[in-house]
Structure 1
């Protein structure tokens, strides 16, 4: 009973923080509303068994200390959920409250209220938790208003039926996969599949992190138009792909491995008749509460030491990491949904969105994955390095540390590629690929020290608009619509994906609804002409860091202000909100080693002027606060660590 009561109080603290400090974004599963009380119940049950043992051994002082320890834990559980309040600071008031409360239950004859609580408290608490469970099951959107549907979709068939020969649509986003990952060493299956359609060698994400890029993929809008961020999801201003395809008669489903920014509460689930963004198992329930999370972290360290002493690889279910699900689990869920859909409505087209998270840090492939690039297990110090690769404070890395992290990243890519290849084989066997549009891309890349800011090498993403973070793979396969072996070298933006789907599906409603241009709008019937079909395109990327936070509280040091980048041909311009610019000639400098704020050649000056004009058209100055006159950057921050291949 004490555990459930403490859990409900902690839930109240979490909900208050969600409403008043996080704009209604829970940032975790909505099932948390019943998981937190159960997590506390589990922890208190274990601790209660220890207290009973102490009471039996020492009925006098042992019982006194056991009761007050349990009551102190009950007060500590909700207090450590308060932002900015440490466990040590919460311990004193918790113990003081325990000294005051315990007599109510130790001497019930002197406190009638204590008798009533002991009689009716447990049934009441169980009923409340059960009711919360029912609410969580029937409320898929959580508290955020941005996740509510823009229009009623429900996935029902339109009254006029579905147009003939409409293709299935598969949009697969490989989270945190760089463009150079598409090679025979790390992603051979995807590279082989890409030969069946079009490969875009210079595809640019609209942002260096997950939420804005996904929002653009679903709406065809630039990041500055959407305004999404950690505290603001995708609102209902613009329609989404899932909404429009549902209205056109598609059965729509989304499956997300990124359990932070991929959740429906951020608005990404809007329009899907089925959106799978939950991971519920015993471990997730156990560490749903603050006390449960703290206990799991301590047990994780004990398991690490035990496995290290036993000479085994330090991998176990309690190891820390970003909330995620493996590609194996996600794709099994996709296949199960598609099997059910085939059984119910075999003639109905499907639109399936899949987010796969295996390449995201920490770069640890599933324990069951085979070692493809090395013939031994990871050493304890290597596991520790990979787990804390990004860290909370920017720091230089040694070359051998970067090599270890990059090798681990490549292992994750190989496992991801293998799972994706098996899934595509399954689609082939079921006949889906005979009439389908398959798009495989990434939401952003990953830095491995190729560039630096403020004298600190950049690692991870959500740091800059340099190519390692925004240059992503893009493969589009559509039999009978796109010839095999197409390779496009011109820069393109992921913003044009919705318009491209409107073109390839033949649905005029999509073409009218979404801005941008189809990547194949100028294609002719001659396959030899397809490699040059793109031409000049609008290619814009944006990033607005939390510059109001000190560096040690940011994801990394990263950018010092809002950044915007435009590309055209081999020219690239990056501009910061205070007017500082970086200009690169990617034909001569593909790794962005040399900033050329004042190009020497006439052609370079013309390209820079054209990019400035394009940036002003794509992203009005009024959308950047405190814009100052343009001035070139005097010197690009030095590369302290050589780039890794």
Structure 2
């Protein structure tokens, strides 16, 4: 055997043995370890998304992938041997090598990729900022972190691609060429910029444009190669300096540094003001809480708070989706007045609870998990000195530019059905809040707001919580939702119960984290000097009216939310208020509890008459809610909201719904909480129907400039 052939055979043999060990021993061992509780946390998190799949399923999946990869490796070995057998001139001819396309060293190639990624990521961030300045869409918002995370993420992504290209060229005995590698690297860079929200081009047009711009950049680089390549080889220090600059921007704009700057300008707080903790459980409906008689132990902590304070049995949100309902809780305004939408954040003209408390010397901080409608782009952050809406860690760095996001998605797609960019769970949000409480200034009263997202689809919680109440689903949420709902096949089957298990687990996990907050307040000796309020932004439909989810109608399960207040010595203990109320009255009620005059003047009503027995309960108006049709295709075609704007009012035990097509519905929410019997056509309820209809009409036509009472 010829020496070069023997060397090649040894190399192929070594690679083959290594691959066999990896495929047959190491990978199955890692899969088993990932499914156990003994493995490293990152490994457990990777495989956690397939918990509803058996370990046998994942091992079979790996076996299939390994067989396919083995075939590819064998073909690659044959092709590589054939390539080495070609004459040098023939190889260069096949590659189209040209003297006009200067070669690059491997180090220069990797550095070139990192530079292109850095510049491309920064341009991507600027494009997002420009988009945000002319068309603010909260779910596609711009965050100041983009200015430094996107460049660093882009540098990491394209640097990695360049490293792979350099390795392949080395294996093939080739030298990378400037024009060819620049096109290869610049295409994903430009295409990633074109993926910025608001760029309305067909995917094919974006790809053609990316190739065109990349070719122009490559030609310009080749034309300046005599000056460019030497500078590139010496640019390592400049690149490191650029990275340090972006890291400095990140440090300066971090929540902690921003809070320190704001604290220096904060006025002194009057003596005796209580602390405030407001917890909004995203998407938690009252019927799924033990607090409201549910047969599962989902809310022991909230139940304990209710025993020590006031619970409102029939509280509702102003609308069944996140942004406007949060805005109502913070401003006291009704949904119709706020004008928020999927493409309209809360306007700065509205005064929020956090702004009033900040102006009275409170140290204010928000810790939120909803990635779309409670971020700083939503406007909910107004008045907070510190607002933590995005985790800044290695995971975020890896996924903050288009290039790295695509690489990570492709690598992890077969491993997990969970979000590629994991959501902040209640444990993370709580840990952020507790860490902040450790560092806050003790001489000041504080306001801490927490948004806990675990009961929102895709209903994800860390182990061992997902299976707490029974078997997990056998499908992904997207598969279930779109197959059973979006396409009109509204099948409510056994799989629904498995998703309810996950939903209930999310509630229980969030409740546990509330317990951690209460334990910390108690350990610091400030629990009795802190107002604690727990509510939700809206409910969730689980099969009622063949609906799953929220934001599609105004039925009771989508609006009925918990509302519990605890403030020992001021609020009575164990009071249950049956009168229906809106949770938009929270700011005005806090004004009563704190004595802050500015809060006593905000829209809404104080709920104090309902627990004090002062005979002034009629000052609290019956709650209303409404919803407008979505303009972005969020609601399925069959959703009631697509018929037009919907309104509802709740008085006593009756809920009246006025649909967009003019039809009416009436339900007894006490006797029929699932609203399975429409009373609108029942003669015995004709007078009640007319009373609710007239009240809703009167409340829906306020005088010009007037606000809902």
Query: Structure 1 residues 171, 207: CA separation in 2 closer, same or farther (over 3 Å shift)?
Result: same
Q: Which residue of 1 aligns with 2:270?
A: 162
Residue among 110, 123, 131 paired with 1:9: 123
Task: Pick the aligned partner of 1:561 from 644, 649, 660.
Answer: 644
Separation in 2, partners of 1:325, 1:551: 23
2:510 counterpart of 1:416: yes
Is this contact kept in 1: 2:369–2:425, CA < 8 A?
yes
The aligned residue for residue 352 of structure 1 is 448
Cα contact 1:178–1:469 (8 A) shared by 2: yes
RMSD: 3.6
Structure 2: tracts of 5 or more residues without a match? 1-114, 291-295, 705-709
Instruction: Give the C-alpha shift of residue 31 in structure 1.
Output: 0.4
Contact 1:51–1:70, Cα closer than 8 Å, also in 2:
no
For these two proteins, the number of residue pairs brought into alignment is: 580
Residues 1:328 and 1:613: Cα distance change in structure 2 (over 3 Å) = same
User: 265-274 vs 406-415, which deviates more?
Assistant: 265-274
Spell out, residue by residue over 1:187-243, the C-alpha distance to the aligned partner (whole angstroms, 9 max, x if none): 122213311111111100011111111111111111111111222222232322112
Report the equivalent of 1:39.
153
Aligned mates of 1:217, 1:369 — CA distance in 2: 29
Question: Which whole-Å CA distance do the structure 2 matches of 1:194 and 1:550 have between them?
Answer: 39
Say which SS state the counterpart of residue 573 (structure 1) adopts: strand
Partner residue of 1:194?
306
Looking at structure 2, the residues matched to 66 and 20 of structure 1 have their Cα atoms a distance apart, in angstroms, of 36
1:95 counterpart residue number: 211
Shift of 1:391: 8.2
Aligned match of 2:285: 178
Give the secondary-structure state (helix, strand or coil) at the position aligned to 1:337. Answer: helix
2:33 corresponds to: none
Go from structure 1 to structure 2 and tell me whether the alpha carbon gap of 1:421 and 1:22 turns closer, same or farther (over 3 Å shift). Answer: same
Q: In the TM superposition, what whole-angstrom CA distance separates every residue of 1:61-88 from its partner, at most 9, and x where no partner exists?
A: 9757555423333333323336344555
Q: Does 1:427 align with 2:505?
A: no
Kept in 1: contact 2:120–2:190 (CA 8 A)? yes
For 1:324 and 1:482, the matched residues in 2 are separated by 36
The residue that corresponds to 1:643 in the other structure is none
1:480 aligns with 2:588: no
Please state if 1:217 is matched with 2:329.
yes
Q: Does the C-alpha gap of structure 1 residues 245 and 153 become closer, same or farther in structure 2, counting only changes over 3 Å? A: farther
Given the two structures, how large is their TM-score scaled by the length of structure 1?
0.80
User: Residues 183 and 214 of structure 2 are in contact (CA less than 8 Å); yes or no, is this contact kept in structure 1?
Assistant: yes
Q: Which residue of 1 aligns with 2:99?
A: none
Unpaired runs of at least 5, structure 1: 142-147, 305-313, 452-456, 624-645
The aligned runs of 1:163-562 (5 Å cut-off) are: 163-164=271-272, 166-183=273-290, 185-304=297-416, 319-320=418-419, 324-341=423-440, 344-346=441-443, 348-367=444-463, 369=465, 371-374=467-470, 378=472, 381=475, 395-451=489-545, 457-511=546-600, 513-521=601-609, 523-524=611-612, 537-546=621-630, 548-549=631-632, 558-562=641-645
1:307 alignment partner in structure 2:
none
- In 2, Cα distance between the equivalents of 1:91 and 1:471? 47
Which structure dedicates a bigger proportion of its chain to helix?
A: 2
Q: Matches of 1:490 and 1:537 in 2, distance apart?
A: 10
Q: 2:675 aligns with which of 584, 588, 592?
A: 592
Equivalent position to 1:573, from 633, 656, 660: 656
Give CA-to-partner distance per residue, 1:454-505, whole Å, 9 cap, x none: xxx3221111111111100111112112222111112111111111111122
For 1:136-151, what aligned pairs fall within 5 Å after superposition? 138=252
Relative to structure 1, the CA distance from residue 97 to residue 580 in structure 2 (aligned partners, 3 Å threshold; closer, same or farther) is same
State the shift of 1:586 in Å: 2.7
